[in-house]
Amino acid sequence: MVTTVKDGWELVVGLEVHVELNTVTKMWCGCLTDFGDDPNTNVCPVCTGQPGSLPVVNGEAIRSAALIGLAINCSIHEVSRFHRKNYFYPDLVKNYQISQYDVPICYEGHLELEVEGLPVRVGIERLHMEEDTGKSTHLGGSGRLHGADTSLIDYNRAGVPLMEVVSHPDIRDPETAQAYVRELQGIVETLGVSDARMDQGSMRVDANVSVRHPGDELGTRTEIKNLNSVRSVGRAIAHEAQRQIAVLEDGGTIRLETRHWDEGRGVTETLRVKESVTDYRYFPDPDLVPVHCPAEWVEELRTSLPELPAAARTRLEAEGVDGAQAAALVSTSGMLAVLDGAVEAGADARTAANWLVGDIAGQVAAAGTTFTDSGITGAHLGELLALVDDGTLSNNLAKQVVEHLVADRGARMPAEVAEAEGLQQVSDTGELQAIVDQVVADNPDTVATIRDGNAKAIGALVGQVMKATKGQADPRATNELLRASIID
């Protein structure tokens, strides 16, 4: 069940998702987009706004934006253009941001989501391109621009291509908002056009939230800025809805304002009140020419689209993977590639999905990494499952192998790990027989009980064998050998 905010109230949410594209170079110049490098090393006259410098559109960014647009079912404007959004801020090198305004590259699309087992469609108003700003670090004083002693600015990020996807206010509950963000993340990742890492800021979400009585006009909205995890998106929206309802039920009014989500305290707080609408004095950027996306080019691009998350879910379910697992596989960064690789290596999709979504995902998360960074590939999983299948590994041992795979980032293959770490099942009858004989000899009372007809007691002896072999004994073989030596 999705969360209902409160009886008699309806939540209305629209999302603005910023995605930093992972093009090699910046939007307007040839500088690398590696903004994590030493401060102000990936900069040039253009991206530091030196007098006389001029922007030139990065064609790769246009292609990436159009690809995303097609993936979210948008139409592509054959001719779109860039405007200047004028405002003063120290990390904005030209004191205007080049952005698309009246004619964005992509318009009117939608995402088909599955939320708690039910299909939901969220409309998308537009996708437009813009440039990122530099990054300010405020030292001393308040720690914000106002009141800081000193501010340092790193322009490595200035001019990195940024895309903004604006949804219609079609979202009615936090879960749908989360599903929407995850879906978009999955799409962008599948297309390979962005890391879409919310934790690293390459994907950022602003939520416009309002509440109303069902059937009423839209209420006054507040905008929650820079939500940096899917979890925060859900929590912040749920909290903001409750806050607004409380204010309204108390006879108060909602102010049009920007709010900040405090993850630690779980509350939203006023960032700045929009007393008057900021006048950005948008006008067409005279330094740039219109962007052309000819219909033939768009069609060619459409045919190059890879399998998208929604299609992948359908395919997985057809292969027998459980719906929830399919959703997890598709929305977890890098996981689907591992599954597809394992299946290619001969694994059963359902078994592979069980392992991935269950134990492996848990271990990867516990290690603080992601599938993309874990080094674990489809080849690893395929081999692991084959080893379980042929009895070389028990489920238990396989889990221990996974621990090693995660720990050394897939540097070794499962067979190698099992061998080197002594994790193979002992099913060699001769070796096992000696241990079984020893256990039988050491436990005369239990043996007597079994011979008296209490077959269940054999479990205790299996346990002893396991203990003696440090878990490596093949349980079935052990069982058979015990029965043979006790009963026969």
Partner 1 sequence: MTADLLTASAADLAGRMAAREVSAREVVDAHLDRIAATDGDGTGDADVHAFLAVVADTARRHADDVDQRRVTGRDLGPLAGVPLALKDLFTMRGAPTTVGSRILDGWVPPYDATVTERLRAADVIVLGKTNMDEFAMGSSTENSAFGPTRNPWDLGRVPGGSSGGSAAAVAACQAPLAVGTDTGGSIRQPAALCGLVGGKPTYGTVSRYGMVAFASSLDQAGPLARTVTDAALLQSVLMGHDPRDSTSIDEAAVGQPYPDLLATLDDGVDGLTIGVVTELRGEGYEPAVLAAFENSIQRFEALGATIVEVSLPHASYGLPAYYLVAPSEASSNLARFDGVRYGLRVDAPTAEEMNAATRGQGFGPEVRRRIMIGTHALSSGYYDAFYAQASKVRRLIAQDFASAFDTVDVLVSPTSPTVAFPLGDKTADPLAMYLNDVATVPASLAGVPAVSVPNGVDGAGLPIGLQVMGPLLGDDRCYRVARALEADLDLDPIARGPHALAAPA
**Segment lying near partner 1 (by CB under 8 A), choices 81-89, 111-119, 225-233, 419-427:** 81-89
480 vs 461: CA distance, rounded Å: 12
Q: Which one, of 302, 330, 305, 337, lies nearest residue 316 by Cα?
A: 330
CB-wise, 141 or 463, nearer to partner 1?
141
Q: Is 52 in the site for partner 1 (CB under 8 A)?
A: yes
- Find how far residue 203's CA is from the centre of its chain: 10
Per-residue burial over 93-112, b = 16 or more CB atoms within 10 Å of its CB, e = otherwise: bbebbbbbbebbbbbebebe
Query: What is the nearest approach in angstroms of partner 1 to the Cβ of residue 36?
Result: 21
Q: Is 221 in the site for partner 1 (CB under 8 A)?
A: no
CB-wise, 51 or 117, nearer to partner 1?
51
Q: Is 145 in the site for partner 1 (CB under 8 A)?
A: yes
Longest dimension (CA), the chain: 98
Q: Is 286 in the site for partner 1 (CB under 8 A)?
A: yes
Query: What is the nearest approach in angstroms of partner 1 to the Cβ of residue 42?
Result: 15
370 vs 403: CA distance, rounded Å: 14
CB-wise, 45 or 391, nearer to partner 1?
45
Q: Is 333 in the site for partner 1 (CB under 8 A)?
A: no
Query: What is the nearest approach in angstroms of partner 1 to the Cβ of residue 61?
Result: 14
Query: What is the nearest approach in angstroms of partner 1 to the Cβ of residue 365?
Result: 41
CB-wise, 94 or 380, nearer to partner 1?
94
**Segment lying near partner 1 (by CB under 8 A), choices 41-49, 326-334, 372-380, 406-414:** 41-49
Both tokens of 403, joined, read: 């621990």
Cα distance from N-terminal residue to C-terminal residue, the chain = 57
**Segment lying near partner 1 (by CB under 8 A), choices 18-26, 274-282, 372-380, 399-407:** 274-282
Q: Is 256 in the site for partner 1 (CB under 8 A)?
A: no
CB-wise, 5 or 153, nearer to partner 1?
153
336 vs 331: CA distance, rounded Å: 8
Q: Select the residue interacting with partner 1 from 8, 36, 45, 391 (CB under 8 A).
A: 45
Query: What is the nearest approach in angstroms of partner 1 to the Cβ of residue 56?
Result: 5
Q: Is 288 in the site for partner 1 (CB under 8 A)?
A: yes
Interaction residues for partner 1, span 120-139 (CB under 8 A): none
Query: What is the nearest approach in angstroms of partner 1 to the Cβ of residue 125?
Result: 20
Size of the residue set binding partner 1 (CB under 8 A): 32
Q: Is 159 in the site for partner 1 (CB under 8 A)?
A: no
**Partners of 74 in the beta sheet?**
none
Query: What is the nearest approach in angstroms of partner 1 to the Cβ of residue 256?
Result: 16
Interaction residues for partner 1, span 91-110 (CB under 8 A): 93-96
Contact of 317 with 326, CB cutoff 8 Å: yes
Q: Is 142 in the site for partner 1 (CB under 8 A)?
A: no
Q: Is 386 in the site for partner 1 (CB under 8 A)?
A: no
Name the CA dihedral angle for 344, 190, 168, 323, rounded to a multiple of 10 degrees: 20
**Binding mask of the shown chain, residues 469 to 488, with x at each position contacting partner 1 by CB under 8 A:** --------------------
CB-wise, 281 or 467, nearer to partner 1?
281
Quote the DSSP letter at residue 457. Answer: G
292 vs 278: CA distance, rounded Å: 30
Both tokens of 349, joined, read: 């999709």
**Partners of 123 in the beta sheet?**
110
Query: What is the nearest approach in angstroms of partner 1 to the Cβ of residue 278?
Result: 10
**Partners of 13 in the beta sheet?**
171, 209
Both tokens of 125, joined, read: 């108003």
Contact of 370 with 410, CB cutoff 8 Å: no
238 vs 77: CA distance, rounded Å: 36
Unique residue bearing structure tokens 């749920």: 238
62 vs 40: CA distance, rounded Å: 25
Q: Is 298 in the site for partner 1 (CB under 8 A)?
A: no
Contact of 254 with 270, CB cutoff 8 Å: no
Q: Select the residue interacting with partner 1 from 56, 118, 311, 434 (CB under 8 A).
A: 56
Q: Select the residue interacting with partner 1 from 8, 36, 90, 346 (CB under 8 A).
A: 90
Contacts of 389 (CB under 8 A, 6+ apart): none
Quote the DSSP letter at residue 25. Answer: B
Both tokens of 25, joined, read: 């170079």
85 vs 404: CA distance, rounded Å: 52
308 by DSSP, 3-state: which? coil
40 vs 12: CA distance, rounded Å: 41
CB-wise, 278 or 304, nearer to partner 1?
278
Q: Select the residue interacting with partner 1 from 199, 279, 390, 488 (CB under 8 A).
A: 279
CB-wise, 54 or 311, nearer to partner 1?
54
Q: Is 404 in the site for partner 1 (CB under 8 A)?
A: no
Instruction: Summarize as ranges the residues that interact with partner 1 (CB under 8 A).
Output: 45, 48-57, 84, 86, 88, 90, 93-96, 145-146, 151, 153, 277, 279, 281-283, 286-289
